[in-house]
Structure formats: structure tokens, C-alpha cells
């Protein structure tokens, strides 16, 4: 598979009282045969729901809500429970949390560019690889008015969640492509680590974490509206515009 190419665009912006600063905008071209999308924070904004549910659960069990909520993004809920309260019956609590997440739909909406990009791709060339359970994934896709895809890997399909490479390796196998032919869109450090460990290229979305926590990705974008996909023979060619890199 060809390596991604890149083109720099330069913009000079004077800052009063400071030396002139140079903003570097990168337009990068990726070649892939299959695309793997994380769901929350990539295709939809569910952060308010996630925060409400995990904070409420933590408070109900006398746990630090800030610490628990910070652990919840990009991980299977059962793993968050095990990390936050190892003395609890994680499987029993996971059923409770899952229903809380399914019931909390306020503010769950598609992120810019998500519906357009999915509609442009062949249904056998992409999959959702999410840490959510299948019932929760189907519910949130419905809340966001996104179609349930033909191919999806959810929490029940793996033994080890992200940052293990297992979820994305299973996503590639589900589509029938080797890892090197897959490109991942992710929004969390755990998800990017999972993709990189699986031997895949990863593009990070700056929707949940700041850019300095996403530097392991091959590119960082604002959201999927910064992606243009072109189908050419066996390849999906994706042109992405990365967020600015500020250098003095």
C-alpha cells in the first residue's frame, strides 16, 4: 500500500507584541481498501450522555465522578467498572450502566461530515469498531439518525478492548482485508493505540481530547467534514486537512 503523501500550506499571522508565528496546515492523502470507524466522538457526539451516566453511577457508589468519567471515554464499560471499582461485580454493574446509557439520549447527534462520508463509501468497505455494546451502539446510531452499518464490531465481540489491537484486527477480518490495507478514524488515545498496535494507519479527531494527547496518530483533524473520499478501482483515496500546527 502506498504511504500517505502530504502537502504543506503556509499562513502567516501576526500576533501583537509577539514574533510572527507560522501556522502549518497539512493536506494529507491516505490510500486504503477499508475504513474502520470508532463510533462515539467520531460519528456522533455522545460526550454529554457519557459524562452524565458515569458521573451519576460514580456518585451513587461513592466514587470520584471526575476520575470515573475521565476513564470512560474509548473503553468498554465493563473495563471502566473494573478499573474504578475492582471490588464490584463488574458484569452485574455493566448491565445497569448499559441501560443507563441507552436511556440517556439527550444531546446525542451526528458529528459534521459523518453521514456524508458513510453514504459515500461502499457498505462492504467500512465497519464501525466501538467499545459500546451492540444494543447501545444501535440505540445511539438511531438517536443520531445514522443507519446501522452492515459490518460492526462491538464490546461483545472482543475479549480485550482498546487499547488492545483485538477490536481493530477483528474489524479488518470482518471486512476481509489485511490490517495494512485499513485506515482507522479515532478520537481517543486508547483507540489510536489500538489501531497502531494492529498495524494500521490512524487519523485522530479532535472532538474529545486535545491535540497533544493524539500525537500518536498519523494526522489530526477537527471532524469528518475535513475528509474527502474518492473511490478509485480497489482503493479508497482519502484527502484530509489536519488541524494547524503552530510554530514560532
Active site residues: 38, 40
Q: Are strands 227-232 and 235-241 parallel, antiparallel or unpaired?
A: antiparallel
- Cα distances (Å, whole numbers) of residue 147 to 54, 88, 150: 26, 36, 9
Q: Are 117 and 124 in contact (CB under 8 A)?
A: no
Helix/strand/coil (H/E/C) assignment for every residue in the chain: CCCCEEEEEEEEECCCCCCCEEEEEEEEEEEECEEEECCECCCEECHHHHHHHHHHHHHHCCCCHHHHHHHHCCCCHHHHHHHHCCCCCHHHHHHHHHHHHHHCCCCCEECCCHHHHHHHCCCCCEEEECCCCHHHHHHHHHHCCCCCCCCEECHHHCCCCCCCCHHHHHHHHHHCCCHHHEEEEECCHHHHHHHHHCCCEEEEECCCCCHHHCCCCCEEECCHHHEEEEEECCEEEEEEECCCEEEC
**Residue 125 and residue 177: Cα distance in Å, rounded?**
9
Provide the residue count of the chain: 248
Amino acid at each position: 500500500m502506498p504511504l500517505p503523501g502530504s502537502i504543506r500550506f503556509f499562513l502567516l499571522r501576526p500576533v501583537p507584541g509577539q514574533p510572527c508565528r507560522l501556522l502549518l496546515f497539512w493536506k494529507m492523502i491516505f490510500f486504503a481498501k477499508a475504513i474502520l470507524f470508532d463510533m462515539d466522538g467520531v460519528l456522533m457526539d455522545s460526550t454529554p450522555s457519557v459524562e452524565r451516566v458515569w458521573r451519576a453511577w460514580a456518585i451513587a457508589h461513592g466514587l470520584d465522578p471526575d476520575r470515573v468519567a475521565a476513564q470512560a471515554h474509548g473503553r468498554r464499560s465493563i473495563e471502566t467498572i473494573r478499573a474504578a471499582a475492582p471490588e464490584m461485580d463488574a458484569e452485574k454493574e455493566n448491565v445497569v450502566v448499559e441501560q443507563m446509557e441507552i436511556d440517556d439520549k439527550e444531546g446525542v447527534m451526528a458529528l459534521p461530515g459523518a453521514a456524508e462520508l458513510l453514504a459515500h463509501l461502499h457498505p462492504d468497505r467500512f465497519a464501525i469498531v466501538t467499545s459500546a455494546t451492540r444494543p447501545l451502539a444501535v440505540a445511539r446510531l438511531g438517536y443520531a439518525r445514522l443507519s446501522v452499518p452492515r459490518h460492526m464490531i462491538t464490546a461483545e465481540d472482543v475479549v480485550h478492548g482498546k487499547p488492545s489491537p483485538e477490536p481493530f484486527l477483528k474489524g479488518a477480518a470482518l471486512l476481509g482485508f489485511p490490517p495494512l490495507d485499513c485506515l482507522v478514524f479515532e478520537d481517543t488515545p486508547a483507540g489510536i493505540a489500538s489501531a497502531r498496535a494492529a498495524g494500521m494507519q490512524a487519523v485522530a479527531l479532535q472532538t474529545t481530547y486535545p491535540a497533544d494527547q493524539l500525537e500518536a496518530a498519523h494526522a489530526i483533524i477537527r471532524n469528518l467534514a475535513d475528509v474527502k473520499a474518492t473511490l478509485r478501482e480497489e482503493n479508497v483515496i482519502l484527502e484530509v486537512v489536519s488541524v494547524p500546527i503552530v510554530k514560532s
